[in-house]
Structure 1
């Protein structure tokens, strides 16, 4: 149920992602126009074992007159299992209102089913559904299995069914390892809804949600479990997403999970020192336009590439690269997306270690042509195809800029005080958020912050920031179900996901905005009503309020400090810059984002800019 498509398509996707085996969900088999033996052969041809058949529902503790019928139903399923070549069937706890609250009766019924299975060389695994009529917790299920006392009956665990109830695996060490027949994993976001709806529509892969699945796996392996780690995920977005992409995410999640639980050894995630550079794919026209904006923001031309049509602009610790090289990865990116960020350079403590981890987590490595005396920089592709370069200068005699560029003796325009890249935000199609969360968490060891919901005039935008443990790297991820929000318009203009928002950090924002050429780098207009509200809401004094108003700045505050920021107008509906002063503040100005989106919506609708006011 994790994957979209027909049964053959699901099998092919699982095999392509490197899975050893699969579960067969009954509905997939029922909807397949072929015999169980044919499914068995298809799986074998792809190198896949069929490890579980499920679900067998509403069996135990029913009125006595239904037992014979249920045992006959089980025999028919055993026939199917024999054709499939699968040994274990999952029996989930009864949800029917007429089920009897009698553990001894449930144990006796399951013992009879297990005996029938054993006669055919099969096994029965009993699982507690979180919404079961009488059996909801794994300890209840284990007590029933113990009481049944049959070698062909064991326990099946599901992380969602346990963790969604706030339960743990405390006591699992008392269960003999050979009685743990099978384990399924699913994560989920924290939501306030009934557990059945939560399970059927909002599960996701380990590492994508908020449940303590890694601790669950740790306890499980410590208890001696050595069987398959499986994924059982019901998710509306997964059902419509390309099966191969979803399967790859599933494999990445299991590798990450096993590593977190100590089952496999992965190199430690990289430690980041921030963003080293941003690279834009441009043509000559877009390059001139973007160059003018950069110069107006205080960037100067710092060098030309030694062998390519690539220019370097620099201010403080910020490096911006404009790539106009034909027949390159950047030109391919430009043909697909227009002028936009095609690559990000990340400063890491050990690029080799970071790449080894990335390869182990199913990342696509990328190598481009390297000219004489130029440096080969390890790189991988993000889920949207953006190149992520890993910059490690520890052992290099020269920086990548000294190696690859003919540097100018000095900047050609006056700096405005921009010191570093504070954060880089990406806009994603709504169904891709979980994929990116998993990528940044598993590959780079980043942490997912709470989802922020922001009201755009044309819909809701959800934002979830990924941050490195030391907060040196910040990547907010934005999604929207509406195609008319700021995020939706970007995705339409860009023809996919990508960087739509780059924040430069300064220690003196008032001085910075006064030094900027605002006739070229136009700032987003802030409505007058905003200042009345922020003054009342945060109790600002008149002096600060006047300065904010006169310079068109926005302000926010959290328990850690203050935040001043201002946005530029969008560049061709694709991306915009933000200038920020962060004085201990940990957020991203979410309280002001609705104002920004409203102004951008007005600009998109009317075409008016700050120069028209």
Structure 2
């Protein structure tokens, strides 16, 4: 990776994105039922394209989106093991320089995640995120990527399958504890320079909580507090679901329905159908949210 020139550094200083954040590289699920989750991902348009060299980990992809299913059972007893119900356990952020981003996060109070690198594996720096999740920093995502080192392509499979109906990353929904909005807002602002959107600016059909926008303007985080009798996550903060952007939500919904995906029925309002849609849940809680997005990433 080339080092930025003086002109580049001056340009970067004018932009509130000191990490050079450039979107999401992958989202990782952990589960002891990888085949079942894989079937769900395939219904959503993802395709398995590569396997990890030494662990039970599979890479699924469509368009610009990478999803990892991790079924690896760690030999270290202090590590949490995959459960039947899939859980989002990590999100990897694309950054200009992973080592610099990692050190900056530690300097600002983040907790480091110790790594244990095996032969032929990359050391991808990570910090603790919400719950037991991790936030990785990845700077190899262009011509030479992390997938070229740690993963072996599945023979005869297209490594870059096109996105169904132009689907792309829109964001992640995070459930938080009561009265924790300001804490988590400060966490993402201090470490990554996310900024809060005004309450008048909302997306999709579930306009709850607080929306944070990434400094690269390519994805969002939605922080949702528990609602009595509706969302009960007291003491169980977690990354709950991924949001997928679509230029035309009804078209994307129709394409997914043809593949067997069922959606939570709304009130039939045409305007709401254009704004977004929510799939029914699989495997104890895996859901996907479609959100109208004019961008085509």
TM range (shorter): 0.7 to 0.9
Structure 2 matches for 1:214-613, cutoff 5 A? Answer: 269-284=18-33, 287-327=34-74, 332=80, 334=82, 338-393=85-140, 398-408=144-154, 409-411=156-158, 415-451=163-199, 462-482=208-228, 484-485=229-230, 487-488=231-232, 491=233, 496-518=236-258, 520-528=260-268, 530-531=269-270, 534=271, 554-555=273-274, 564-572=275-283, 574-583=285-294
1:195 aligned residue: none
Whole-angstrom CA distance in 2 between matches of 1:481 and 1:505:
26
Whole-angstrom CA distance in 1 between matches of 2:102 and 2:236:
26
Runs of 4+ residues over 6 Å off in structure 1: 328-331
Whole-angstrom CA distance in 2 between matches of 1:314 and 1:468:
22
Q: Conserved in 2, the CA contact under 8 Å of 1:377 and 1:391?
A: yes
Q: Conserved in 2, the CA contact under 8 Å of 1:426 and 1:501?
A: yes
Q: Conserved in 1, the CA contact under 8 Å of 2:211 and 2:222?
A: yes
Whole-angstrom CA distance in 2 between matches of 1:364 and 1:385:
12
Secondary structure of the residue aligned to 1:580 is strand
Greater RCO (Cα-Cα under 8 Å, separation 6 or more): 2
Relative to structure 1, is the Cα distance of residues 383 and 502 closer, same or farther in structure 2, using a 3 angstrom cutoff? closer
Q: 5+ residue gaps in structure 2?
A: 1-16
C-alpha displacement of 1:322: 0.5
| TM-superposition CA deviations, 1:54-93 (whole Å, max 9, x none) | xxxxxxxxxxxxxxxxxxxxxxxxxxxxxxxxxxxxxxxx
Q: Conserved in 1, the CA contact under 8 Å of 2:63 and 2:167?
A: yes
Q: Conserved in 2, the CA contact under 8 Å of 1:315 and 1:418?
A: no
Q: Conserved in 1, the CA contact under 8 Å of 2:246 and 2:294?
A: no
Whole-angstrom CA distance in 2 between matches of 1:282 and 1:403:
23
Structure 2 matches for 1:73-92, cutoff 5 A? Answer: none
Where is the helix percentage greater, Structure 1 or Structure 2?
Answer: 1
Q: 5+ residue gaps in structure 1?
A: 1-267, 455-460, 535-552, 556-563, 585-613
Q: Conserved in 1, the CA contact under 8 Å of 2:130 and 2:237?
A: no
Secondary structure of the residue aligned to 2:243 is strand
Rg (Cα) greater in structure: 1
Whole-angstrom CA distance in 1 between matches of 2:36 and 2:200:
33
C-alpha displacement of 1:415: 4.9
Whole-angstrom CA distance in 2 between matches of 1:446 and 1:453:
15
C-alpha displacement of 1:301: 0.7
Give me the TM-score of the superposition, normalised by structure 1.
0.41
| TM-superposition CA deviations, 1:31-62 (whole Å, max 9, x none) | xxxxxxxxxxxxxxxxxxxxxxxxxxxxxxxx
| TM-superposition CA deviations, 1:239-293 (whole Å, max 9, x none) | xxxxxxxxxxxxxxxxxxxxxxxxxxxxx73122111101001012xx2222111
C-alpha displacement of 1:576: 1.5
| TM-superposition CA deviations, 1:487-521 (whole Å, max 9, x none) | 32xx27xx711122211123444443333255632
Q: Conserved in 2, the CA contact under 8 Å of 1:300 and 1:414?
A: no
Q: Conserved in 1, the CA contact under 8 Å of 2:19 and 2:96?
A: yes
Give me the TM-score of the superposition, normalised by structure 2.
0.80
Secondary structure of the residue aligned to 1:554 is helix
Count of aligned residue pairs for this structure pair: 273
Q: Conserved in 2, the CA contact under 8 Å of 1:298 and 1:315?
A: yes
| TM-superposition CA deviations, 1:545-573 (whole Å, max 9, x none) | xxxxxxxx723xxxxxxxx4221112345
Relative to structure 1, is the Cα distance of residues 331 and 291 closer, same or farther in structure 2, using a 3 angstrom cutoff? farther
Relative to structure 1, is the Cα distance of residues 415 and 352 closer, same or farther in structure 2, using a 3 angstrom cutoff? closer
Q: Conserved in 1, the CA contact under 8 Å of 2:192 and 2:215?
A: no
Secondary structure of the residue aligned to 2:168 is strand
